[in-house]
Amino acid sequence: MTTDSRPPAAPIPPGATIGIVGGGQLGRMTALAAARLGYRVHVFTPEADSPAAQVSERATVADYLDMAALDAFAGSVDVATFEFENVPAATVERIAARAPMRPSARCLEIAQDRIREKTFLNANGAPTVPFARIASPAELACALDEIGRPAVLKTATLGYDGKGQVKIDARTDPAEAYLRMGADVGILEGFVDFACEVSVVLARDAAGRVAAFDVAENRHANHILDVTLAPAAIAPEVADEAERVAARVAEALGLVGLLAVEMFVTRDGCVLVNEIAPRPHNSGHWTLDACVTSQFEQFVRAVCGLPLGDPARHSDAAMKNLIGDEVNRFDALVRDPGAKIHLYGKGAPRPGRKMGHVTWLFPRGLGPKTPG
């Protein structure tokens, strides 16, 4: 099912302007890929001196709900996209009324709400953990009887990197857990004792062609992605299933652009989708250095209607995020001739802030070594 029944539009050629809503590192790396292909980038973000604006031709610094600024932005771009999920849907819809928006506002709306997201996934043949909508402590107590413990209570919207998540074990009081979540509406999820976490990043073009990067394994620390290892050390049939599920989700979304699908691999080799993101993803950063075409170039190609590039992995890779003070490892990393360093141009290294990442390559087939 696609939301856009119009025939694929003509490609948007180099020289045209891509509008990116959001000013973070994903926009920055997209803008760099766009520049390499000869495009101009106009960023829309409330943040002054944002990572994306630093490397783009133009930036509008305005509130996401400043309609006049949004209209002017939409009028200045040939195509628009977004680089993070917590943009108000109204912002994207406003721009979409005046400029082609890829992916569609609908893709964003589904990904923004964990309940809508998991309902959509299950309806389209993508398995998830059992879940329930929670709007009161009583509903939580009831849902815990159904789903069992341990479980995880998450805010339905605006949560990321573990914010707004409460683990519920045998002794947790539902009323207290509900309060700790810090939102009115949440989602209760069964807790998975997973073997590993993996993700698939793929591009899909307007004609429905899909190009997926190899499945990568993700390791988190304090709920934030710490390391990605590519390829994931999983059985080929599990990797194939992960790719099949991701492609099914992209198709069901009618997605034109990039999609990241984060999954748990259970101990008996099943894949359960945890989250989807219709944009470049942290777990795809390794593709910058290890693939023929990076996720960012692929994103630009899909959004501009160009043929998709080759996602083949020429090397195995280990990507380490530089979170907060870890960016101070720069002096040592820059002396490591094999370290491919990417810094995002952010100011102070606050705890939990993604400051950059570093990727090491290994001969294809030998497997990545976990960075220290």
Residues belonging to the chain: 372
| Residue whose CB is less far from ligand AMP, 274 or 298 | 274
> Are 225 and 201 spatial neighbours (Cβ–Cβ below 8 Å)?
no
The Cα 17–Cα 76 span in angstroms is: 8
Interface residue with ligand AMP, options 83, 113, 117, 189 (CB under 6 A): 189
Residues in region 253-282 near ligand AMP by CB under 6 A: 274-275
Integer distance in angstroms from the first to the last C-alpha of the chain? 44
Count of residues touching ligand AMP (by CB under 6 A): 12
Q: Smallest distance, Å, CB 228 to ligand AMP?
A: 12
| Residue whose CB is less far from ligand AMP, 351 or 365 | 351
Interface residue with ligand AMP, options 129, 206, 263, 300 (CB under 6 A): 129
| Residue whose CB is less far from ligand AMP, 223 or 369 | 223
Any residues with CB less than 8 A from the CB of 6 and at least 6 apart, and which? Answer: none
> What Cα–Cα distance (Å) separates residue 184 from each residue in 109, 133, 138, 154?
19, 11, 13, 11
Q: Smallest distance, Å, CB 191 to ligand AMP?
A: 4
> Are 121 and 276 spatial neighbours (Cβ–Cβ below 8 Å)?
yes
| Residue whose CB is less far from ligand AMP, 8 or 162 | 162
And the tokens for 153? 């209570």
Stretch that binds ligand AMP, among 10-18, 105-113, 187-195, 338-346 (CB under 6 A): 187-195
Mark residues 58-97: x for contact with ligand AMP by CB under 6 A, - for none: ----------------------------------------
Any residues with CB less than 8 A from the CB of 302 and at least 6 apart, and which? Answer: 102, 203, 204, 205, 256, 257, 258, 308
| Residue whose CB is less far from ligand AMP, 44 or 286 | 286
> Are 324 and 352 spatial neighbours (Cβ–Cβ below 8 Å)?
yes
The Cα 326–Cα 200 span in angstroms is: 26
Residue type, 207: A
Q: Smallest distance, Å, CB 252 to ligand AMP?
A: 20
75: left (phi over 0), alpha (psi -120 to 50) or beta: alpha
Stretch that binds ligand AMP, among 189-197, 229-237, 239-247, 293-301 (CB under 6 A): 189-197
The Cα 95–Cα 74 span in angstroms is: 5
| Residue whose CB is less far from ligand AMP, 35 or 196 | 196
| Residue whose CB is less far from ligand AMP, 43 or 273 | 273
The Cα 125–Cα 344 span in angstroms is: 37
CA dihedral 148, 263, 303, 289 (to 10 degrees): 150
> Are 10 and 78 spatial neighbours (Cβ–Cβ below 8 Å)?
no
Mark residues 190-229: x for contact with ligand AMP by CB under 6 A, - for none: -xx----x----------------------x--x------
Q: Smallest distance, Å, CB 193 to ligand AMP?
A: 7
Stretch that binds ligand AMP, among 39-47, 59-67, 94-102, 188-196 (CB under 6 A): 188-196
> Which residues are bridge partners to 248 per DSSP?
none
The Cα 154–Cα 133 span in angstroms is: 10
| Residue whose CB is less far from ligand AMP, 181 or 192 | 192
| Residue whose CB is less far from ligand AMP, 49 or 169 | 169
Interface residue with ligand AMP, options 148, 162, 269, 307 (CB under 6 A): 162
Q: Smallest distance, Å, CB 219 to ligand AMP?
A: 9
Interface with ligand AMP by CB under 6 A: which residues? 129, 152, 159, 162, 189, 191-192, 197, 220, 223, 274-275
